[in-house]
């Protein structure tokens, strides 16, 4: 049964109302809060279940955690950071940057931390959102979901996993009290987190088993510390950092040609990846195991200079036979081999197209977001609005994801659109606003048409980009500057609106 805001225990705390409530304070929620403040909007709150801003960069503190987008591009355009110490920043530095931005723009006092949204229901009678949280009830005229795609860990459905007697934790919930030194450790998964974790712990543990379901494509990681003259230039020479950012953006954007326009062009990157394989994996048997069987780009391309060498260590084994079950102190594969372990690290990613948060949000007709997606597929309008959910906007909604460049660029595009939507609602005195079904359908027909010839649809692989219906509901299939142009202004004509006799609530 779906959790709804009406399914609540008695709570004597008064209901708090805000004109706008933002849920989540990662890059998207924080950026949205800053823009609202800059527009002079003060009647808003940010509900954040964690104890600080940062989102995924607050939560993912595993050894080796770092970004796979160059530092200068992985930041807000309005808050460039001349203090980056290297070309690809590590987690602590990114989290420090996000915290610094929150302090600089003075929006922390708009946050309620430790506030987990457990349900949200649109009330047709009042045209408000009723929101249940771990800190009581709220109402809002406008609800903005900035929950993000990489926030709910995906735990594998493996027989006996709950009976394991040793230490076990997900990569996004790293247990820093656990000392892996000298232990037998299993890492389940070979995705973006795993390829950073494995090299970081391989020298520390007694033995490491890496369980691989699908071999990823790896490209070189051009990471290096910035030299002092570079850092001084970024800090003191006007335009130096902006120029560097623009150059990085142009290089990254060129990958769209192969990913979405002309997939055969991906042969260039595949040639680089295969050369990397030959150089870094000398053992023919291991090389065969880590050679992908799908076209590069149709799953997320990963970057690392340390992963392949780590797999070649004497105390590391790559296991490609599927896991049959987990016992009290061992992992058993489908070939019958039992491997004893003291600790298991689950690096199996996140709920992206099936987020549990979808079950907690109920729209105009009472159906949850999960039910709407189940019936009609995961579709939205410009990644920012969904029919049946009036007065609600989504950061990082359907088909906003990227596989080649910085999500912060897409986030800022949505901030432009949604902030203009809020200004439009207030200026016109709108009581309700809801994207029309015909506008949403037309948008998605065009979107899926662009996806048909992209590498994600023709590369012969299954990935977390796809929903249960086999549709790519995650990625944007075009140049990001076109997304920016598409969301430059709020198009109220695509929405059904109703006016109120009074101005928006105070």
Q: What is the CATH number that goes with domain 16-152+351-499?
A: 3.50.50.60
Residue with tokens 């230490």: 167
Distance between CA atoms of 371 and 43, rounded to whole angstroms?
31
Average pLDDT of span 430-434: 97
Q: Is the pLDDT of residue 3 over 50?
A: no
pLDDT per residue over 192-212, tens digit each? Answer: 999 999 999 999 999 999 999
3-state secondary structure (DSSP) of residue 273: helix
Q: What is the pLDDT of residue 502?
A: 46
Q: Tell me how far CA of residue 35 lies from CA of 21, 25, 40, 88, 107, in angstroms.
A: 14, 13, 9, 27, 10
Give the pLDDT confidence score for residue 11 in this predicted structure: 67
**What does R_g of the chain's alpha carbons equal in angstroms?**
23
Q: Bridge partners of 168?
A: 344
Q: What's the pLDDT tens digit per position in 241-287?
A: 999 999 999 999 999 999 999 999 999 999 999 999 999 999 999 99
The DSSP secondary-structure symbol of 140 reads: E
Q: Compute how many other C-beta atoms are within 10 angstroms of the C-beta atom of residue 391.
A: 23
The reported pLDDT for the residue numbered 413 is 98
Q: What is 161-224+231-342's CATH superfamily? A: FAD/NAD(P)-binding domain (3.50.50.60)
* Mean pLDDT along residues 75-82: 96
Residues 6+ apart with CB under 8 A from 202: 208, 310, 313, 315, 316
> Averaged over 52-77, what is the pLDDT?
96
Q: Average pLDDT for residues 348-364, to the nearest whole number?
A: 81
Q: Decide which of 103 and 455 is more confident.
A: 103
What residue ranges do the domains of the chain occupy? 16-152+351-499, 161-224+231-342
Listed in order, strand segments (DSSP E) in 70-215 are 111-113, 117-123, 128-133, 136-145, 167-170, 184-188, 207-211
Per-residue pLDDT band for 350 (boundaries 50, 70, 90) equals: low
464-492 pLDDT, tens per residue?
Answer: 677 777 778 889 999 999 999 999 999 99
Which region among 221-230, 460-469, 493-502 has the lowest average model confidence (pLDDT)? 460-469
Using a CB cutoff of 8 Å and minimum separation of 24, what contacts does 88-91 make? Answer: 88/221, 88/222, 88/223, 90/65, 90/66, 91/57, 91/60, 91/61, 91/65, 91/66, 91/67
**What percentage of the chain carries pLDDT values higher than 70?**
94
Domains 16-152+351-499 and 161-224+231-342 share a fold: yes
pTM of the model: 0.92
**pLDDT at position 151:** 62
Mean pLDDT for the chain overall:
92
């Amino acid at each position: 049964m779906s959790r709804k805001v009406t399914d609540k225990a008695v709570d004597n705390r008064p209901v708090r109302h805000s004109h706008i409530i933002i849920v989540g304070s990662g890059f998207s929620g924080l950026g949205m809060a800053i823009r609202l403040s800059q527009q002079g909007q003060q009647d808003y709150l940010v509900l954040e279940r964690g104890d600080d801003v940062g989102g995924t960069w607050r939560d993912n503190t595993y050894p080796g955690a770092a970004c796979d987008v160059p530092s200068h591009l992985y930041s807000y355009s309005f808050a460039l950071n001349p203090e980056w110490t290297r070309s690809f920043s590590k987690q602590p530095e990114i989290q420090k940057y996000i915290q610094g931005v929150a302090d600089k723009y003075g929006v922390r006092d708009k946050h309620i931390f430790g506030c987990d949204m457990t349900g949200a229901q649109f009330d047709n009678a009042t045209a408000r959102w009723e929101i249940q949280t771990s800190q009581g009830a709220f109402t809002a005229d406008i609800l903005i979901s900035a929950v993000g795609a990489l926030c709910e860990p995906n735990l594998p459905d493996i027989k006996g996993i709950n009976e394991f007697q040793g230490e076990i934790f997900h990569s996004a919930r790293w247990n820093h009290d656990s000392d892996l030194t000298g232990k037998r450790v299993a890492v389940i998964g070979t995705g973006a987190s795993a390829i950073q974790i494995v090299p970081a712990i391989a020298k520390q543990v007694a033995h490491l088993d890496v369980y691989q379901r699908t071999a990823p494509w790896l490209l070189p990681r051009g990471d290096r510390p910035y030299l002092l003259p570079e850092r001084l230039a970024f800090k003191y020479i006007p335009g130096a950092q902006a120029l560097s950012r623009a150059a990085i953006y142009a290089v990254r954007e060129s990958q769209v040609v192969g990913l979405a326009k002309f997939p055969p062009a991906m042969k260039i990157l595949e040639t680089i990846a295969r050369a990397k394989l030959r150089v870094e994996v000398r053992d023919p048997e291991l090389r065969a195991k880590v050679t992908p069987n799908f076209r590069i780009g149709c799953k997320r391309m990963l970057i690392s200079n340390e992963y392949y060498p780590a797999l070649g260590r004497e105390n590391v084994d790559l296991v490609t036979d599927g896991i049959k079950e987990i016992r009290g102190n061992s992992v058993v594969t489908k070939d019958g081999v039992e491997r004893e372990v003291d600790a298991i690290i689950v690096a199996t990613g996140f709920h992206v197209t099936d987020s549990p948060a979808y079950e907690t949000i109920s729209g105009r007709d009472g159906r949850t977001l999960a039910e709407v997606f189940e019936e009609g597929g995961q579709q939205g309008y410009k990644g920012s609005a969904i029919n049946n959910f009036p007065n609600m906007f989504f950061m990082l909604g359907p088909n906003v994801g990227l596989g080649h460049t910085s999500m912060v660029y897409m986030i800022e595009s949505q901030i432009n659109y949604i902030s203009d939507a809020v200004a439009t609602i207030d200026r016109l005195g709108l009581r309700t606003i809801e994207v029309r079904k015909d506008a949403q359908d037309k948008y998605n027909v065009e979107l899926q048409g662009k996806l048909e010839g992209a590498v994600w649809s023709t590369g012969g692989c299954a990935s977390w980009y796809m929903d249960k219906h086999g549709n790519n509901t995650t990625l944007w299939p075009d140049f990001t500057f076109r997304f920016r142009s598409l969301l430059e202004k709020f198009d109220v004509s695509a929405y059904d609106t109703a006016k109120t006799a009074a101005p928006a609530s105070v």
